[in-house]
Homo-oligomer: A and B are copies of this chain.
Amino acid sequence: MPLPQPLLDLLSSHFGDRLSLSAAVREHHGKDESHFPPCPPDAVVFALCTEDVAVAVKACADHRVPVIAFGTGTSLEGHILAPHGGICVDVSGMNQVLEVRPEDLDVTIQPGVTRKQLNEHLRDSGLFFPIDPGADASLGGMAATRASGTNAVRYGTMRDNVLSLEVVLADGRVIRTGGRARKSSAGYDLTRLFVGSEGTLGIITELTLRLHGIPEATSAAVCPFPDLEAAVNTVILTIQSGIPVARVELMDAAMVDAVNRYSKTDHKVAPTLFFEFHGSQAGVQEQAERVQAIAAEFGAEGFQWALAAEDRTKLWAARHSAYYAGINLQPGSRAYTTDACVPISKLAECLLETRADLDQSRLKSTIVGHVGDGNFHVLLLVDPNSAEDEAEAERLNHRIVRRALALGGTCTGEHGIGQGKKGFLAEEMGEALDVMRSVKAALDPLNILNPGKIV
């Protein structure tokens, strides 16, 4: 169905040349980094302020046309695809850091600010924002998908680090979900309701985030293990011992090999843990000693330390490029990414059974994980033109999800539901999915906000 002309006229008069109908622009806004084929919106508007977003949403509501928020397009479950067409609201131009308040360890930003941009802005303040998905995603998108990353084991996820939001509702009204107090019991937790709602309940137009002091001391280390089991058991015991590691990341041997090729590093090709410790000088040393003792118990082959900031940056840049490194193993492929997360005591079982499964498959695959949270990703490399590859990846993913659910876990630790995991959500939530549907119907009765996602 073509867009109603009165809607286009209204958007054109408000947005001028910030409304685009060009195929290239629509195409760009109709694909993310998932394996899903592109599915472009009918038009794109480039918002520069909250009012722009409100005008677009109100106009779409008046004409019952879908409206989809877009940040950087780096989501992994088809979140920003437009299966029902409609208007894409690109908020990447809303990229102002509005106010840093070092005295309260918080910051207010527009949703298009990316995580790297924010930390660059904070560079001289002694503060940082810890949540770091692989991509340099927009913080609006990260809030919308309840993203996390390597630091979540210590600093939590977007759930824990958003103090409040400004949101445009489905009818174009603008609300604030709270103030800047560290805690509040003032009614329903609307902040947490919108965090993770993937643009289906409202569009985030401003975020107030918690910041953290850059630790007095930081050290990082890489440690190869004789096998996957030894690496995972080291993680489990570290977490169970309550050692406050800032990061503990796993790569299987295939992933280390991929990263070495892509990032020109020379890590030993073996199951490997990447650690980071934050604290005082004494605290960091104490944590490192305790973890080394645990790792030694499981036959670790020695810690290689990255003490200089520059070396740490290089180490984590390599880790953050793992997704691209994985894809690079098979040029022309797309990555089918899994996202299981289980209670820590079940991690060894879940990971080892998964690795055994993968070893039986003809698809190339690598494993990388935020294992301190019990979360890991399998990158399954599929030829985008092969239905067989796709089917095999789906089969493997199904097995991984079912295994995680049977162990008390979730089908998605941090990527979200989008289009890709709707079936799994029903399995995971049972009748609770009805509650989600009721909430969706209450807040978006016309079903115009990112339709076809989550519920």
Contacts and interface: CB of A to CB of B under 8 A. Distances in A.
Interface stretch (A11-19, A328-336, A439-447): A439-447
Interface stretch (A37-45, A58-66, A184-192, A292-300): A184-192
A417 B280 contact: no
Given A175-B431, A212-B242, A436-B188, A180 B409 contact: yes
A263 interface: no
Counted per complex, copies of this chain come to: 2
11 contacts: A101-B343, A148-B183, A152-B183, A169-B435, A181-B375, A182-B344, A185-B415, A187-B196, A187-B454, A190-B432, A213-B241
Interface stretch (A25-33, A102-110, A358-366): A102-110
A411 B282 contact: no
Interface stretch (A46-54, A116-124, A301-309, A422-430): A422-430
Contacts of A145: 185
Interface residues on A, range: 35 or more
A376 B196 CA distance: 31
Contact of A344 (B103, B343, B413): B103
Interface string A265-309: 000000000000001101100100000000000000000000000
A185 B413 contact: yes
A39 to B, nearest CB: 21
B342 A181 contact: yes
A408 B180 contact: yes
Contact of A240 (B105, B339, B341, B430): B105
A410 B432 CA distance: 30
Contacts of A431: 173-175
A412 B184 contact: yes
Given A190-B436, A286-B283, A374 B412 contact: no
